[in-house]
Structure 1
């Protein structure tokens, strides 16, 4: 994609801050998630087994294709634009990768609507583990940098983004029925094939290479095995806790509110990933315990041990999702503001801060 991006970045005005491109690209991805939530709340629109669910309008798939293409392009040119305007720095890296950690939620969030949750596809519980293959692949790349100082992003990432763009267009022109087929020879459905590809891509291709790169590195940044393993602890706890809730929910809450459940898991994951990114950027020790996991653990214990109605469990799920969303946004805003104050820059402007602006931001001057 670099030849196309090298051409496209020349169109961007030089007065525009690179972080504007980064944030706009993220909003396009969020927009796709919101659009499909409105028209396909329970992932039933592409499943013929749910006769009462109307299919997603064709124009939605076209809108998703355009938004996805724009998001991928903006994500590809923001760094080039930063170097073009001599504004590269840690804040841009944090904005880019930090928002990408939340984007890791919204991409499968939208893909699942293409296949639906029933015929020729997979159940919401099995889809949760496909989400985790994407989360793991993203997280391990930053875990690798935390230990080696090198961030390796393979070309397969661009290939997957182009494939998703193509899937949106195919669904627009051919409808969701295009994806209802059984794979010859293997005799598996299209949904099961997508699941296998996800597992192979994560556990056979990405994870082993990352682990090899870390433990074959002669100059690890972390002094001991425990210190190198430390960032994986909150990820393992999040996986165990949320998978346990989904599997042992007395009211099968992931079937009742799949989008809310995925959003909650993806938001907590994004916070864990952002804290790892901050640690590897600043060469500081990564936290072994993310405090977001404490209310989540209490909720899961309550749900799985106390008598609880479906309405009560769904309410707890929604409350957790809203709480984690607000807390994660608060965390991100605070970190960005602190970095802006430290480097004396503005997040969404190339204009440098002067001393009076810095004093106001620190509360030393009243307006």
Structure 2
């Protein structure tokens, strides 16, 4: 989150890395590289620390993966500042949105797999991506953003390599691996849900989110997806995180996953009104209001769930000491 806020301050509209713009200071890239690696390391050891201190609970799992789901859009946004949206060597906003969808789909598939098999398989691509991001940030600090705009042999750009890696990992590794794991569980008779309808319930809300946000982005009369790109990404990422957190709770409690997230009907209404031109110039303000609503609602949901789980397990959220212990 700190990386996101730092880069949002210096590069709110994702154009600072363009050739004719004032670039982000080098020390910011050093800081973001260190912070990203630190966050990745802590994310990898928190479970081990919980087991070492005998404090592992479903609340910790929700904290871990719930925050990871929100971080998906933050990672994409921070890396985007390296390549910029401007110029013929930048990444167009529409392409960035597709890349965000792929990252969200990767996270979703892992947890849909657990919803059906009871086992969370974490793809190695996450580790590679986080290490790569840290290296890219540090490299940018010393060599400048111009490095990533230089052409490789055969006229290939670094942005093309970046895009190919994300799409390739998703199509060649993530999807086949998830399908394979579900197939193995099916053959072993350990699937938690027998019908296709029940098994695919967690996919309904993410697919609707992608469909609705894509329509709004493409057909917006005010072009809010491009003129307010950072806010649009934040909104999509926050709604997704709320969907993911509810799926995680369903996994932990072995309950039926909610098919339709309650943040989606308002999005559908806004998309309908917007694409028909009925919002007029109020469309950007509508995006701002909706973004504020989903952010507050998601925070409220998270706080309430944490409070309820803390009471249920008789634990203190940020302490190893139990309430009734001395």
TM-score range normalised by the length of the shorter chain? over 0.9
| Structure 1 counterpart of 2:315 | 345
- 1:77 is displaced (CA, Å) by 1.5
The reply to whether residue 247 of structure 1 matches residue 215 of structure 2 is no
Hey, what's the Cα distance between the residues in 1 that align with 2:22 and 2:64?
A: 36
Structure 1 runs of 4+ with >3 Å offset: 307-310
Question: Size of the alignment, in residue pairs?
Answer: 322
Alignment of 1:227-238 (within 5 A): 227-238=198-209
Contact kept in structure 2, 1:121 and 1:192, CA below 8 Å: no
| Structure 1 counterpart of 2:90 | 121
Hey, what's the Cα distance between the residues in 1 that align with 2:244 and 2:235?
A: 14
Alignment of 1:316-335 (within 5 A): 316-335=286-305
Contact kept in structure 2, 1:122 and 1:192, CA below 8 Å: no
Pick the aligned partner of 2:50 from 75, 82, 89. Answer: 82
- 1:276 is displaced (CA, Å) by 0.7
Hey, what's the Cα distance between the residues in 1 that align with 2:96 and 2:38?
A: 26
- 1:291 is displaced (CA, Å) by 0.5
Residue 279 of structure 1 aligns to a residue whose secondary structure is helix
Contact kept in structure 2, 1:246 and 1:254, CA below 8 Å: yes
| Structure 2 counterpart of 1:137 | 106
Contact kept in structure 2, 1:121 and 1:190, CA below 8 Å: no
Pick the aligned partner of 2:11 from 27, 32, 40. Answer: 40
Pick the aligned partner of 1:103 from 60, 63, 71. Answer: 71
Give CA-to-partner distance per residue, 1:168-188, whole Å, 9 cap, x none: 000000110010023323x43
- 1:307 is displaced (CA, Å) by 4.0
Distance 1:80 1:216, change over 3 A: closer
| Structure 2 counterpart of 1:261 | 232
- 1:195 is displaced (CA, Å) by 1.5
| Structure 2 counterpart of 1:21 | none
Pick the aligned partner of 1:158 from 118, 124, 127. Answer: 127
- 1:71 is displaced (CA, Å) by 0.8
Structure 1 unaligned residues grouped into runs of 5+ = 1-29, 356-367
| Structure 1 counterpart of 2:2 | 31
How large is the Cα RMSD of the aligned pairs?
Answer: 1.5
| Structure 1 counterpart of 2:32 | 64
- 1:309 is displaced (CA, Å) by 3.8
Structure 2 unaligned residues grouped into runs of 5+ = none
Pick the aligned partner of 1:149 from 118, 134, 152. Answer: 118
Q: TM-score, normalised by structure 2?
A: 0.95
Q: TM-score, normalised by structure 1?
A: 0.85
Contact kept in structure 2, 1:148 and 1:217, CA below 8 Å: yes
